[in-house]
Amino acid sequence: MNREQDLKNVAANLSHLANTFDSASEFCRKLDINRQQFNKYVAAQHLPAQKVIQKIARHFLIEPAQLLLAPAAFKRAFEERDPGLPFELQGAPELVKMFPAVGSSGEAMRGMLGVYHRYHNSSIYKGMVLRSVTWLYVRDGTARYVTIERFPLLDGSARSGYTFTYHGFCLALGDRLFLIDSESKQRNEVTLSILTQQPRRPIRFLYGIYSAVASSSYRQPFSTRLVLHHVSNTKLTRQHLRQATVLRPDDASIPPEIRNYLCRPGADTVWGGED
């Protein structure tokens, strides 16, 4: 494919992405892209630098090469993309054989599927509450999930500084849910969550604990309280992803039931390696 065609494809595809925002200005502000340069991209005058393409791909959870697709193919791939289906887990027969409970959890979790806000005390921004987004779904009879975390920069701009995506499997055993996943970009972390099922339907909250290793230079193991707040029966959407952020414990957007569970006396985060 020649450069002229690449310019046209990227221009059309960037215009499509920008249309998911209220304005091109908001798109550039949120992604920290120079507006004058953006105008040249959508006018098919310049191709974005590789670091700009990488930034756009990370934000929209797509592959950088997809921006070069023909507009019709890009739109179809973007709108039908399934962020809950990592390529490396499409079959995973070995995992199903290793954990027989995985293969039977799909039906057991039918009443708990959907999109959740996931709240727990942050290991990166200590003293803050991390609100990420988790989508529980069933594929090939197994219960799976994807969790997306977004950490804003601390400069007051509200721009995302870090994004982490975790893919995993759910095991329903008795009245307990076991969620185990791995981080799909850096591939250097596994986390485990244990929650108790609620007898009430529809599900509103799932309470439990979360264990992982802090994404810091010290790599400390830690465990903290966790709450999943059911927000939608639909698939994961970009609108859901915009809710992922870090909050002060007294933020009014945190439901009071969650604030009480996470922040009441005795609900401290436990860190490994401390006296």
d(CA 165, CA 82): 13
pLDDT at 100: 54
Structure tokens at 210: 């979360």
Query: pLDDT, tens digit, for every residue of 156-166?
Result: 666 767 888 89
**Residues belonging to the chain:** 275
d(CA 112, CA 198): 10
CATH 2.40.128 maps onto the chain at: 87-271
pLDDT at 114: 92
Structure tokens at 75: 């739109």
Pick the closest to residue 230 from 134, 101, 126, 129 (CA basis).
Answer: 134
Instruction: Give the max Cα distance, the chain.
Output: 63
Residue at token pair 């990592």: 86
Q: What is the CATH architecture of 3-79?
A: Orthogonal Bundle (1.10)
Which position has the higher pLDDT, 32 or 154? 32
The SS3 of residue 252 is coil
Burial class (CB in 10 A: 0-12, 13-18, 19+), 215: middle
Structure tokens at 179: 């969620």
pTM of the model: 0.63
pLDDT at 82: 52
The yes-or-no verdict on residue 67 having pLDDT over 80 is yes
CATH 1.10.260.40 maps onto the chain at: 3-79
Contact criterion met (CB below 8 Å) for 129 and 143: no
Percent of the chain whose predicted confidence (pLDDT) is above 70 = 81
Cα first-last separation, the chain: 61
Which position has the higher pLDDT, 39 or 77? 39
pLDDT at 147: 94
CATH number of 87-271: 2.40.128
User: Which residues have C-beta within 8 Å of that of residue 115, sequence separation ≥ 6?
Assistant: 133, 134, 135, 230, 231, 232, 233, 234, 235, 236, 237, 240
Structure tokens at 52: 């700009």
Structure tokens at 240: 């859901």
